[in-house]
Amino acid sequence: MSYTEDMAQAGRLIRDQDGRWDAIGAESVARMRAQNKFRNGLDIARYTARIMRADMAAYDADPANYTQSLGCWHGFIAQQKMIAIKKHFGTVKGRYIYLSGWMVAALRSEFGPLPDQSMHEKTSVPALIEEIYTFLRQADARELGGLFRELDAAREAGDEVKAKQIQHAIDNHETHVVPIIADIDAGFGNAEATYLLAKKMIEAGACALQIENQVSDEKQCGHQDGKVTVPHEDFLQKIRALRYAFMELGVDDGVIVARTDSLGAGLTKQIAFTREPGDLGDQYNAFLDCEEVTGAGNPGDVLINRDGKLLRPKRLPSNLYQFRPGTGEDRCVLDCITALQNGADLIWIETEKPHIEQIAGMVDRIREAVPNAKLAYNNSPSFNWTLNFRQQVFDAWQTDGKDVGAYDRAKLMSVDYDGTELAVEADNRIRSFQRDAAKRAGIFHHLITLPTYHTAALSTDNLAKEYFGEEAMLGYVKNVQRQEIRQGIACVKHQNMAGSDIGDDHKDYFAGEAALKAGGKDNTMNQFAA
């Protein structure tokens, strides 16, 4: 419904009350409705799920249509990210928000900073989803509030052309609300626990849930050691639990991202159940590191029968079983095919380095079974991107017979190499990584998991160094406030960003001439009008 139509509908409703609602302004109602497009989290989840499905179809048609996101650990951070995207690019299309379990554990747990081991409160994840969408909806309200004030000014000046232009902008306003891909880790328990948590996350607004094939109570960060995977059937139960949660809540387009940590996981907690040779359980067990046993074996041995032979899987004192070295990629491929054939929509392969051909080699094999397989990929801050890509260039040049005698491969991170031909080429490859990987390696969605964790640390360090040093107040003024003004950062008017003007509008609606408003001539925010 357009702004004008909404105003007319509200006007009819007010008139039907026999004068009891005459103090209610139909246009004020239309404005408040426009500022609150989404009534609840499920409205958001359904809306954003449709966006993701359309984006996935667009990518299938042309891999240049890949999507991106940054991980956000607070509603304000997510809000400022989306405001910045609209400011710089005019649209939020193709830009999402990633909600990282790592950052929730590190920054949002009541226990304090925790490692990425699913030790944080499971309720903190849906709480953050709700918080993010609260801030994004507030960004809508703030932006529309500015348009409403412009409309009033145009009317007061008698400028009908400008008034129509502004009304068109109101009717076609693009929301800051975008899809969130939310990390449910390994499900925080069994399939039932996964289902219950998924419902909370969807009700908060999440249209896409990312789940990984690690053991829930032994979960580790994807870039650390000690990862333990589960047999496929265990993982598929949780994928089914997610789908049931989406469908129960009427979010039929909900997206499931199935993550495999098998590339870096050398251990399993269980030997998979198998009914017949070659079934999924048997394929999983075939990767176990085993030794042939003669006779009855030793007391306490767990033995498996393969091709008429008794085999003893290698079991560690932790009671975990070990996979054969060098099987990681094969396991990843099987994991991805299995997940996609059993309800997942996207896959996530956690790698140890950003190497397009490594990813593409696995994707090529996956697409033999699932031709439209697509990835969400972690452009991780755990990678040393500078060193990795300088080494990739070094290796490529060496293979091509180019002289690399001026470079020490082990020390390519050194500042001494900044500005060299090799460093420039490496930076060019980093710049085009997302575009090239989308085209070659099936990556539909590129995300950085922890960027705002690092930007918060970096900016705070820079401010502390200046403000508590010789620059003192100038450290803040020169490097923060002045830059906000010069770059048009909306937060320089922090009262406005926090909703003061929205509150003033509501005071007008509620109290009329009696309204005690904050935005008068003595408001210091007026100093930033120029």
Residues with Cβ < 8 Å from 390, sequence gap 6 or more? 412, 413, 417, 422, 423, 426
Q: Is 260 a residue whose pLDDT tops 60?
A: yes
The Cα–Cα gap between 378 and 355 comes to 12
CB atoms under 10 Å from CB of 136, counted, come to 26
With bands split at pLDDT 50, 70 and 90, how would you rate the model's confidence at 296? low
pLDDT at 495: 87
Alpha helical stretches, state H, 276-355: 280-285, 328-340
With bands split at pLDDT 50, 70 and 90, how would you rate the model's confidence at 455? very high
Q: Is 465 a residue whose pLDDT tops 90?
A: yes
Residues with Cβ < 8 Å from 457, sequence gap 6 or more? none
Q: Is 161 a residue whose pLDDT tops 80?
A: yes
Q: At what angle do helices 26-34 and 500-511 cross, to 10 degrees?
A: 150
pLDDT tens readout for residues 303-320: 888 888 889 999 988 889
Amino acid type, 530? A
pLDDT at 115: 79
pLDDT at 418: 97
Residue 502: phi and psi, rounded to 5, are -60, -45
Instruction: Compute the CA torsion angle 281, 282, 283, 286 (nearest 10 deg).
Output: 130
Please state the rounded mean pLDDT for residues 502-514: 90
In this structure, are residues 322 and 335 in contact, taking their beta carbons and an 8 Å threshold?
Answer: no
Q: Which of 348, 108, 75, 337 is nearest to 209 (CA)?
A: 348
SS3 per-residue string spanning 103-136: HHHHHCCCCCCCCCCCCCCCCHHHHHHHHHHHHH
pLDDT at 303: 87
Amino acid type, 148? F
The Cα–Cα gap between 285 and 269 comes to 12
The Cα–Cα gap between 45 and 459 comes to 33
In this structure, are residues 137 and 145 in contact, taking their beta carbons and an 8 Å threshold?
Answer: no
The Cα–Cα gap between 355 and 383 comes to 11
Q: Is 441 a residue whose pLDDT tops 70?
A: yes
- b/e per residue 457-490 (b: at least 16 CB within 10 A): eeeeeeeeebbeeeeeeebeeebbeeebeeeebb
Residue 523: phi and psi, rounded to 5, are -75, 125
Residue 375: phi and psi, rounded to 5, are -115, 145
Q: Which of 291, 272, 267, 292 is nearest to 283 (CA)?
A: 272
The Cα–Cα gap between 340 and 374 comes to 10
3-state secondary structure of 319: coil
In this structure, are residues 68 and 96 in contact, taking their beta carbons and an 8 Å threshold?
Answer: yes
With bands split at pLDDT 50, 70 and 90, how would you rate the model's confidence at 452? very high
Mean pLDDT in the chain? 94
pLDDT at 308: 82
Please state the rounded mean pLDDT for residues 319-341: 96
Q: Which of 259, 277, 236, 77 is nearest to 185 (CA)?
A: 259
3-state secondary structure of 376: strand
pLDDT tens readout for residues 182-222: 999 999 999 999 999 999 999 999 999 999 999 876 766 65
Please state the rounded mean pLDDT for residues 127-153: 97
pLDDT tens readout for residues 96-126: 999 999 999 999 999 999 977 788 889 999 9
Report all structural domains of the chain as residue ranges with CATH numbers, in order of start. Answer: 41-266+332-458 (3.20.20.60)
Instruction: Compute the CA torsion angle 161, 166, 172, 177 (nearest 10 deg).
Output: 170
Amino acid type, 332? C
More confident residue, 226 or 368: 368
Active site residues: 221
| Minimum mean pLDDT range among 64-73, 209-218, 351-360, 445-454 | 209-218
Place of tokens 């009717």: 171
Residues forming a β-bridge with 12: none
- b/e per residue 179-204 (b: at least 16 CB within 10 A): bbbbbbbbbbbebeebbebbbbbbbb
pLDDT at 224: 56
pLDDT at 187: 94
Q: Which two tokens stand for residue 141?
A: 């309200």
pLDDT tens readout for residues 470-486: 999 999 999 999 999 99
In this structure, are residues 213 and 236 in contact, taking their beta carbons and an 8 Å threshold?
Answer: no
Q: Is 297 a residue whose pLDDT tops 80?
A: no
The Cα–Cα gap between 79 and 137 comes to 9
3-state secondary structure of 291: strand
Q: Is 386 a residue whose pLDDT tops 70?
A: yes
The Cα–Cα gap between 390 and 426 comes to 5
Please state the rounded mean pLDDT for residues 80-101: 97
pLDDT at 306: 84
Q: Tell how far CA 132 is from the center of its chain.
A: 12
- In 30-114, the DSSP E strands lie at 67-71, 95-99
More confident residue, 330 or 118: 330
The Cα–Cα gap between 351 and 359 comes to 8
pLDDT at 300: 76
pLDDT at 305: 86
Evaluated on CA atoms 234, 235, 240, 246, the torsion sign reads positive
More confident residue, 517 or 55: 55
pLDDT at 526: 78
With bands split at pLDDT 50, 70 and 90, how would you rate the model's confidence at 54? very high
Q: Which percentage of the chain shows pLDDT scores above 90? A: 83
pLDDT at 57: 98
